[in-house]
Amino acid sequence: MPDQASPTSPEQIEAAAYSDPDAIPLSPDDLQRMRRSPRAKIIRRALGLTQEEFAARYRIPVGTLRDWEQGRTEPDQTARAYLMAIARDAEGLRRALASDGDGTLKTGSAAEQKQLLRTDIEGEVFVHRQLWRVVLRQVDRAAATPKGAFLDDLVTMVFAFHTLEAYLNFVGERLDPHLWKNERDFFRREPYRGFEGKVRKVLELTDLPEPSRSSRPYGTVWLLKELRDLIVHAKPEKFSRTVYHGGLAEEEPNLTHLPFGGLVTAENARIAVHDVEAFIEGIHSAAAATLVPADVWFGDKALSGPLQRGTGSTAVAT
């Protein structure tokens, strides 16, 4: 019987590949599942430890380890160096960190002198990015349970405003470090008093004109400021209304009165996320062009990137 003709066209080649059970091409889903494992997971599995055992042995919060392994966050520079040290000498670090509960460290044998380790570390937490994580988490919660998501929408809007407040301090400190050393005193006086003055000052430092408050995204900033002020000065809200229901209506109406003058809605929460991000990123792009030399921790994007930075050293305490 003559040999079957070899496939020549791209379609024939693809069909032949899929017909061979030993050489089926990888699908996009297969490639996604084959993504590279995080370094923390590789090291932990090589040591044969559970997440709880690895976290306890090397004094890493188990929640942080899970975030690293599941790709929700990445280790910063200091954490990456620590993981590398574990990979190089896991047993040595284990012995050094094995505390006996009184502040001393257990050694390999009773004859060895007990030692204390001293770690000095300094760094910076990028609070505006931490707050933005809260915003994104609440957005996901509201999407999962849209009915009755008032509290999620409220937290989304409040923390979006807090993110902006934190970012103004982050960028202001880099644009004018001398002023921001005394920013509390400076922003108590006109013409830069309060939040409004701080926004004005940052726009001046980045050579950006103040946008119209009647249009987005800038107008949304002031809607969120209004909500923030209502919360700061909150008091009981009295209400009265008439609701007609029953008849042919399939669902009973929600008779609950929601506070804050109708500012908190799913649509306003969605707008808040979009507009706060747009306003912050506009400032960030303008500020990046003025920073000389460039700040490696400033980043291309204001709201994504590392949550903190730090450097440190560990030595035997004397």
Domain boundaries, the chain: 24-115, 127-234+261-315
C-alpha distances out from residue 50 to 29, 55, 65, Å: 28, 8, 11
Confidence of residue 8 (pLDDT cuts 50, 70, 90): low
pLDDT value at 113 more than 70: no
Residue of 168, 157, 172 lying closest to 274 (CA atoms)? 157
The pLDDT, as a whole number, for residue 268 is 96
Query: Average pLDDT for residues 37-43, to the nearest whole number?
Result: 86
Confidence of residue 130 (pLDDT cuts 50, 70, 90): very high
- What residues have CB less than 8 Å from 196, skipping those under 6 apart? none
Confidence of residue 107 (pLDDT cuts 50, 70, 90): very low
Query: Average pLDDT for residues 10-25, to the nearest whole number?
Result: 61
The pLDDT, as a whole number, for residue 254 is 74
Read off the pLDDT of residues 149-163 as tens digits, 9 standing for 90 and up. 899 999 999 999 999
**Structural fold of domain 24-115:** 434 Repressor (Amino-terminal Domain) (1.10.260)
- CA contacts within 13 A on the Cβ side of 68: 22
Q: Please state, rounded to an integer, the average pLDDT across all residues of the chain.
A: 84
- What residues have CB less than 8 Å from 177, skipping those under 6 apart? none
pTM exceeds 0.85 for this model: no
Residue of 57, 302, 52, 272 lying closest to 168 (CA atoms)? 302
Residues in a beta bridge with 123: 310
Residue 263, token pair as written in the block:
């500012």
Contact 216, 271 (CB under 8 A): yes
Query: Average pLDDT for residues 210-227, to the nearest whole number?
Result: 96
Confidence of residue 74 (pLDDT cuts 50, 70, 90): confident
C-alpha 73/C-alpha 81 separation (Å) is 16
The pLDDT, as a whole number, for residue 186 is 95
Query: Average pLDDT for residues 161-175, to the nearest whole number?
Result: 97
Contact 207, 173 (CB under 8 A): no
Query: Average pLDDT for residues 198-215, to the nearest whole number?
Result: 96
